C-alpha cells in the first residue's frame, strides 16, 4: 500500500523476526552498506515514555544514490534509504519511501529513471523477504 509517498507492507512474521530478517538481507547484499540502526522505542523508554516497537535501518548504495543527488542535491535529505519496522497492536509493518515519490519531490528528470527503477525493485525485494513474502 502506498500513502503519502510511503510504501507499507504487513509482515507475516513477528516484530523481532521481521527486523532481524531485514537486517540480514541488507547485511548480506554486497551492493548495500548498513549505516545506522535506531531503536525509537528504546530511546523513548530512556526518557520515561512508552512507544510501541519502532526501529529503523538506514542503508545505501552510493553508486545509485550519487546519481540522484547529482541531478538534484536536495535528494540527499531522503538518502540513504531507510526502512522502518513498526508494531501496531498485533500487526507488524515494514515502511519505506516510494522511490517514485522522491522523483516528484525532488523534481528528478528522466536521467534518474533507470536508477529509480533499480532502487524500487531492490526495496521491493528486500521488504518482501523481510515480511516473509
Q: What is the CATH number of the domain that holds 14?
A: 3.30.310.70
Strands 33-39 and 54-60: antiparallel
Instruction: Count the domains in the chain.
Output: 1
The answer to whether residue 121 is domain-embedded is yes
Mean residue pLDDT across the chain: 95
Q: What does the pLDDT read at residue 79?
A: 96
Does residue 66 sit within a domain? yes
Structural domain boundaries, residue 105: 2-128
Question: Residue 65: which pLDDT band, with cuts at 50, 70 and 90?
Answer: very high
Confidence at residue 4, expressed as pLDDT on a 0 to 100 scale:
87
- Residue 17 is assigned to a structural domain of this protein: yes
For the segment 82-96, the average pLDDT, to the nearest whole number, is 97
Strand, helix or coil for residue 94: strand
Q: Quick check: is 133 in a domain?
A: no
- pTM of this prediction exceeds 0.75: yes
C-alpha 49/C-alpha 105 separation (Å) is 33
Q: How far apart are alpha carbons 54 and 129 in whole angstroms?
A: 19
CA neighbor of 45 nearest in space, from 53, 35, 57, 56: 53
Question: Is 73 part of any domain?
Answer: yes
Looking at the domain assignment, is residue 22 inside a domain?
A: yes
The CA–CA distances, whole Å, from 24 to 28, 55, 67, 84 equal 6, 15, 26, 15
Contact 84, 61 (CB under 8 A): no
Mean predicted confidence (pLDDT) in 92-98: 97
Amino acid at each position: 500500500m502506498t500513502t503519502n509517498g510511503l510504501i507499507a507492507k504487513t509482515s507475516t512474521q513477528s516484530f523481532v523476526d521481521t527486523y532481524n530478517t531485514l537486517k540480514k538481507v541488507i547485511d548480506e547484499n554486497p551492493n548495500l552498506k548498513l549505516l545506522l540502526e535506531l531503536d525509537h522505542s528504546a530511546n523513548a523508554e530512556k526518557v520515561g515514555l512508552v512507544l510501541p516497537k519502532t526501529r529503523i535501518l538506514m542503508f545505501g548504495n552510493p553508486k545509485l544514490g550519487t546519481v540522484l543527488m547529482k541531478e538534484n542535491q536536495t535528494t540527499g535529505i531522503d538518502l540513504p534509504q531507510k526502512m522502518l519496522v513498526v508494531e501496531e497492536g498485533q500487526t507488524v509493518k515494514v515502511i519505506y519511501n516510494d522511490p517514485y515519490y522522491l522523483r516528484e519531490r525532488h523534481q528528478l528528470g528522466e536521467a534518474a529513471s533507470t536508477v529509480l527503477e533499480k532502487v524500487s525493485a531492490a526495496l521491493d525485494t528486500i521488504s518482501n523477504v523481510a515480511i516473509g513474502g
